């Protein structure tokens, strides 16, 4: 049920009623509204109201928006208002269409996760069932349940120790964001909606109260149930309100309040109400009948800051006031005393709570939580493990447990110290520019140090050049872009080919749209489209916001979103529409775009993270918990968790509006992360500048055995063990929690590793600068030129269909069969840099700075620049499923060979 209310002078009510029937009601019918015969509860004399039937509770807001956008509706309200003298011309008659009453939905029950525990502290976030990490208020009901009001999430939730029950607008809440909670004498829950108004929940029904019920204007910031059962409301615009169970009464400046902004409200042991306001403290004593019920304390000695936000009375009777500027003021009944300076308690005090031992706890803005035992002051922040430094509410439950509501999650204190899933268990991504997943489930990460791949064998760096972007096309080929010298590169799984797109600057983003067109965003050359044959460029002259393109994304409707240095551009195939800070973006420099499973678009900018719901931008910055305002990359994993890479602030994990940040301070092996991947166990692997580490959903674990050394090659064997070739260290094997590093004393030929391969027989082959190693049955066998290799430096390995091992060396090619090496005769002299067996069984041999040879039996064909090869420094070879041979060169781009 919804209620339509109009503000009409009482003496004009009869005339307005006739105008409603003749002019307004027909328009309501056109909007599909059905009026209810129910009269509804009593309203002030100046309110004309009617009730309407709704199919679902969430339908009220769209109807209100539709009416306000309807020009015919606006014309009628102006005409009626002017005719009756209700509103001075050309004002529109004031109205409100809002949810009135609805049966309560059951809520969504989520089994509470274990949280993150270390010592005696627990923290719960979105991964544990909390609907949002932005905890605004908490309340313990008479049954011992913990109710949590959240912002920027789904609504409110009830925590019974085992489950979170989440109530959203679908269940009858008027708003998904709640500011304050209270429980009345009947056990009903009162919820303050961020958009304004109140909801009362009795377990079966949500009943909504708005300004049409004489509720004060603005948002209700805090609530209090006094000793007589009255409910008091402090608002940010309309002063203070009181509800006695039947009607609302408002207290404003006319009643003795100095201003209409009220924040904190508290009833002391004597029944006196204390009100915190922007310009001072107020006291209300209802027992006084001399017209002086309100008393004000402005500029009183001992109170250096009068902007009071929160109030509490200690066990000894002293009143404590927390102010907006971070001052703590004590009142002993005789005088005010400022106890702490702002720099000791953060940028503002949001809440004060006293525990069973008489310790005072203070929730601060960006300063974490502070505890005061009467003598010593102790502060806890995210560095100590608190979920977030922006703490908005504190609560001590009937068991004496302290709950801390932050803008980073919910923390519970059991008497120990703060511990969270933070960067001691986390990953920063200062250098990760983009992440993509291919059809095989492998993850590809474009990083400052190159292209990294993750699959069931682990993480491997396959392209050691500066890479900004990757994208897999519909044929399974990978496209990547990085520095301006390499241009646009194509990778078919075994070799690279590069294309010159005739643009200036680095390639920042690549995307294949639903029509198979490839889009390339560059650093200085704008946006290019590749149809398989030619490139078409788009610049600012075509409507693009800027020619420095950082990211490209195609949403579910086929719309392209282009992140640029001067805003985000929307391209519908015909024209560009750009959005900037004027439209709500936190910064015009947009680096990343992604669409989550809910359909929301997320933009990473130099000024923070922004969520676009199709109508407006919702922005999040370091003040909301981000580790850094410059967001460079965003990806959503299979658990609907957003991972956000920042420039200089590390990695941010974001789920259910919960933000958890990870940096080196939390134990990450290095802040320079070269690669990220998620395995089948949903662990996140990280390749960094100082080794490897893995996050197992509870903590990041550095692969300490790598010792921060340069990992030159990796391979996973059939038993799941990982082999790492560590430059200048040795061959490291890690399996089932155990590791061993094999050195020269174990038979390993030096430490210059070039390639690793496990063959079909389970033998491990290692190509080094000093020869070839084969590990079989736990033993290493070494092969050098004395055993038949053309040279000791082995640069490439390959196993053919017959199980023969081909070895490319600095001085030629050989194959290992029946226990001996057989040199391939007839090849030009030079280093064999790449090997490939094609679909027809021919072996292709890349010879550095010579060309490419095709070996078919005893026949050898040589291809050089004279034959159309773009360059003779060949790094990799690959044949795609169509039989096309891709030849990647060092500095010369890519050549494609179709056999003709």
* C-alpha span between 481 and 4 (Å, rounded): 57
Taking Cα atoms as reference points, which of 159, 207, 167, 216 lies closest to residue 184? 207
Taking Cα atoms as reference points, which of 425, 419, 424, 426 lies closest to residue 115? 419
* C-alpha span between 485 and 891 (Å, rounded): 7
Question: DSSP character for 14?
Answer: H
* C-alpha span between 174 and 691 (Å, rounded): 51
Lateral strand order in the sheet of 738-742: 711-716, 722-726, 730-735, 738-742
C-alpha count within 13 angstroms, C-beta hemisphere, residue 433 = 25
Q: Tens digit of pLDDT for each residue in 264-309?
A: 899 998 889 988 877 778 888 877 766 667 777 776 777 766 688 8
359 in Cβ contact with 377 (< 8 Å): no
Q: Tens digit of pLDDT for each residue in 670-698?
A: 444 434 445 445 555 544 444 344 555 54
560 in Cβ contact with 553 (< 8 Å): yes
Question: What is the gyration radius of the CA atoms in the chain, in angstroms?
Answer: 34
Sequence-distant (6+) residues with CB within 8 A of 186 are 202
**Residue 361 is encoded by which pair of tokens?**
């706890």
Taking Cα atoms as reference points, which of 788, 853, 786, 844 lies closest to residue 826? 853
Residue environment code for 682-715, b if the CB has 16+ CB neighbours within 10 A, otherwise e: eebbbbbbbbbbbbeeebbebbebbebbebbbbb
CA distances for 731 relative to 41, 668, 889, angstroms: 79, 23, 29
Query: Among 46-60, 626-640, 644-658, which stretch is predicted with the lowest mean pLDDT?
Result: 644-658
Taking Cα atoms as reference points, which of 94, 19, 84, 9 lies closest to residue 45? 9
Question: What's the predicted TM-score (pTM) here?
Answer: 0.49
User: Could you tell me what percent of the chain has a pLDDT over 70?
Assistant: 82
- The pLDDT value recorded for residue 656 is 59
- The pLDDT value recorded for residue 139 is 94
Total Cβ atoms within 10 A of residue 473: 15
- The pLDDT value recorded for residue 95 is 93
632 in Cβ contact with 650 (< 8 Å): no
- Across 25-34, 476-485, 621-630, 681-690, the highest mean pLDDT is recorded for 25-34
Q: What is the mean pLDDT of residues 479-502?
A: 75
The yes-or-no verdict on residue 614 having pLDDT over 60 is: yes
DSSP-derived 3-state class of residue 63: helix
Q: Please give the helix or strand (H or E) that residue 796 lies within, else none.
A: strand 794-799
Lateral strand order in the sheet of 273-277: 262-267, 273-277, 280-284, 294-297
Long-range CB pairs of 111-119 (<8 Å, 24+ gap) are 111/162, 111/163, 112/159, 112/161, 112/162, 112/163, 112/164, 115/412, 116/419, 116/420, 116/421, 116/698, 117/419, 118/385, 118/419, 118/420, 119/416, 119/417, 119/419
* C-alpha span between 860 and 852 (Å, rounded): 10
What are φ and ψ of residue 695, in 5° steps? -105, 120
Q: Using pLDDT thresholds of 50, 70 and 90, give the confidence band for residue 419.
A: very low
* Number of residues that make up the chain: 900
CA distances for 206 relative to 104, 130, 216, angstroms: 6, 21, 20
- Across 113-127, 402-416, 583-597, the highest mean pLDDT is recorded for 583-597
- The pLDDT value recorded for residue 384 is 64
Q: Please give the helix or strand (H or E) that residue 60 lies within, else none.
A: helix 60-69
**Residue 575 is encoded by which pair of tokens?**
């024209």
Q: What is the mean pLDDT of residues 630-645?
A: 74
- The pLDDT value recorded for residue 104 is 94
Q: Name beta bridge partners: 733.
A: 723, 740
Question: Regarding predicted confidence, which is higher, 152 or 855?
Answer: 855
What are the chain's domains? 2-103 (3.30.70), 116-140+214-422 (2.130.10.10), 423-436+461-664 (2.130.10.10)
Q: Tens digit of pLDDT for each residue in 179-192?
A: 999 999 999 999 99
* C-alpha span between 359 and 373 (Å, rounded): 5
* C-alpha span between 192 and 174 (Å, rounded): 9
């Amino acid at each position: 049920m919804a209620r339509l209310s109009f503000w009409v002078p009482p003496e004009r009510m009869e005339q307005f009623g006739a105008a409603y029937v003749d002019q307004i009601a027909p328009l309501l019918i056109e909007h599909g509204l059905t009026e209810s015969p129910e009269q509804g509860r009593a309203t002030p004399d100046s309110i004309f109201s009617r009730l309407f039937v709704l199919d679902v509770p969430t339908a009220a807001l769209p109807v209100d928006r539709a009416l306000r956008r309807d020009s015919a509706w606006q014309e009628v309200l102006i005409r009626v208002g002017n005719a009756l003298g209700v509103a001075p011309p050309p004002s529109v008659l004031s109205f409100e269409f809002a949810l009135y009453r609805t049966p309560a939905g059951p809520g969504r029950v989520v089994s509470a996760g274990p949280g993150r525990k270390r010592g005696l502290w627990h923290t719960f976030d979105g991964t544990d069932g909390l609907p949002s990490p932005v905890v605004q208020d908490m309340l313990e009901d008479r049954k011992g349940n913990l109710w949590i009001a959240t912002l920027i999430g789904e609504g409110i939730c009830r925590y019974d120790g085992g489950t979170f029950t989440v109530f959203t607008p679908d269940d009858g809440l008027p708003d998904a964001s709640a500011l304050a909670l209270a429980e009345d004498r009947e056990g009903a829950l009162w919820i303050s909606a961020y958009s304004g108004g109140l909801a009362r929940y009795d377990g079966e029904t949500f009943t909504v109260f708005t300004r049409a019920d004489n509720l004060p204007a603005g948002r209700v910031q805090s609530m209090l149930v006094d000793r007589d059962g009255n409910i008091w409301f402090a608002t940010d615009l309309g002063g203070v309100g009181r509800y006695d169970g039947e009607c609302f009464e408002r207290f404003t400046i006319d009643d003795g309040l100095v201003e209409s902004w009220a924040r904190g409200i508290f009833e002391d042991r004597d029944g006196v109400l204390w009100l915190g306001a922007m310009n001072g403290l107020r006291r209300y004593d209802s027992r006084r009948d001399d017209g002086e019920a309100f008393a004000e304390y402005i500029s009183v000695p001992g109170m250096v800051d009068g902007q009071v936000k929160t109030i509490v009375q200690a066990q000894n009777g002293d009143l404590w006031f927390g102010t907006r500027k971070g001052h703590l003021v004590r009142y002993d009944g005789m005088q005010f005393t400022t106890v702490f300076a702002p720099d000791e308690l953060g940028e503002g005090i949001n809440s004060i709570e006293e525990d069973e031992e008489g310790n005072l706890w203070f929730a601060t803005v960006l300063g974490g939580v502070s505890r005061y035992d009467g003598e010593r002051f102790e502060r806890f922040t995210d560095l100590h493990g608190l979920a977030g430094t922006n703490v908005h509410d504190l609560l001590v439950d009937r068991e004496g447990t302290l709950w801390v509501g932050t803008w980073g999650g919910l923390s519970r204190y059991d008497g120990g110290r703060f511990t969270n899933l933070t960067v001691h268990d986390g990953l920063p991504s200062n250098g990760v520019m983009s992440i993509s997943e291919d059809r095989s489930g492998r993850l590809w990460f474009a990083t400052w140090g190159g292209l990294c791949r993750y699959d069931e064998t682990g993480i491997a760096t396959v392209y050691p050049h500066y890479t900004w972007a990757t994208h897999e096309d519909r044929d399974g080929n990978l496209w990547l872009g990085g520095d301006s010298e390499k241009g646009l590169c194509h990778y078919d799984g075994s070799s690279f080919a590069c294309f010159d797109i005739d643009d200036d600057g680095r390639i920042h983003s690549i995307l294949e749209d639903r029509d198979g067109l490839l889009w390339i965003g560059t650093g200085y050359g704008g946006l290019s489209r590749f149809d398989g044959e030619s490139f078409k460029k788009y610049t600012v002259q075509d409507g693009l916001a800027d020619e420095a393109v950082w990211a490209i994304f195609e949403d579910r409707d086929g719309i392209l979103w282009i992140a640029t240095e001067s805003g985000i551009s929307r391209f519908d195939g015909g024209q560009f529409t750009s959005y900037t800070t004027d439209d709500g973006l936190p910064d015009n420099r947009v680096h990343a775009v992604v669409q989550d499973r809910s359909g929301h678009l997320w933009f990473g900018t130099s000024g923070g993270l922004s969520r676009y719901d199709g109508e407006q931008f919702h922005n999040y910055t370091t003040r909301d918990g981000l580790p850094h305002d410059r967001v460079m990359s965003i990806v959503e994993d299979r658990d609907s968790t957003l991972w956000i890479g920042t420039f200089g602030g590390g990695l941010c994990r974001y789920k259910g509006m919960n933000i958890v940040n990870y940096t080196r301070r939390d134990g990450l092996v290095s802040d320079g992360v070269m690669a990220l991947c998620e395995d089948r166990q949903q662990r996140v692997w990280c390749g960094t500048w100082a080794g490897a580490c893995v996050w197992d959903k509870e903590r990041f674990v550095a692969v300490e055995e790598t010792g921060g050394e340069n990992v030159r090659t990796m391979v996973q064997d059939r038993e799941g063990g990982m082999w790492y070739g560590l430059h200048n260290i040795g061959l490291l094997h890690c399996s089932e929690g155990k590791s061993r590093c094999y050195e020269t004393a174990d038979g390993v030929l030096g430490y210059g590793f070039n390639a690793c391969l496990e063959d079909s027989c389970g033998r491990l082959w290692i190509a080094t600068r000093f020869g070839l190693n084969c590990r079989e049955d736990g033993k290493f066998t070494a092969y050098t030129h004395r055993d038949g290799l053309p040279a000791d430096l082995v640069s490439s390995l390959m196993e053919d269909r017959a199980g023969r091992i081909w070895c490319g060396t600095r001085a030629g090619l050989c194959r290992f069969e029946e226990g001996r090496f057989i040199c391939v005769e007839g090849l030009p002299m030079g280093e064999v840099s790449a090997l490939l067996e094609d679909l027809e069984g021919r072996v292709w041999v890349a010879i550095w700075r010579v060309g490419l040879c095709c070996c078919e039996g005893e026949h050898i064909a040589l291809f050089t620049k004279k034959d159309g090869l773009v360059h003779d420094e060949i790094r990799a070879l690959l044949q795609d499923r169509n039989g096309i041979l891709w030849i990647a060169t060092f500095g010369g781009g890519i050549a494609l060979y179709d056999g003709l």
